[in-house]
Amino acid sequence: MDKVLSARVDESVIKKLNMLSRQMNLTKKAILESAILRYAEQIAAENKIDILDITFSSWKRDESVGDTVNRARKAFQTSMERHQR
């Protein structure tokens, strides 16, 4: 799903965006998306960011799996008992 983005941009940048859009026969949206994605890839390569460490580190927990499961089961059971009254 697309979302609306609002930003104040220098007039010269807007002129370049309009010019690129006409010359390359692309939408402004396509140009902006491509530029942002390429910039993100460049930054990730320069900083050697491991995206998996950032996004999928939920498996690194202080408690054991059994403790997590037991806590979830207890919360569920408490909720079910409350609704049965």
Q: How far apart are CA 64 and CA 30, in angstroms?
A: 46
- Give one DSSP letter per residue of 48-66, joined into a string: T--HHHHHSGGG--SS-HH
Domain boundaries, the chain: 11-84
The yes-or-no verdict on residue 84 having pLDDT over 90 is: no
In the structure, what pLDDT confidence band is assigned to residue 85 with cuts at 50, 70 and 90? low
Mean pLDDT of 66-79: 91
Cβ neighbour number for residue 85 with a 10 Å cutoff: 4
In the structure, what pLDDT confidence band is assigned to residue 6 with cuts at 50, 70 and 90? very high
Give the pLDDT of residue 47.
79
pLDDT (tens digit, 9 = 90+) per residue, 14-71? Answer: 999 999 999 999 999 999 999 999 999 898 888 776 767 776 666 667 788 888 899 9
Give the CA angle between residues 56, 44, 13 to the nearest 5°.
Answer: 125
Name the pTM for this structure: 0.54
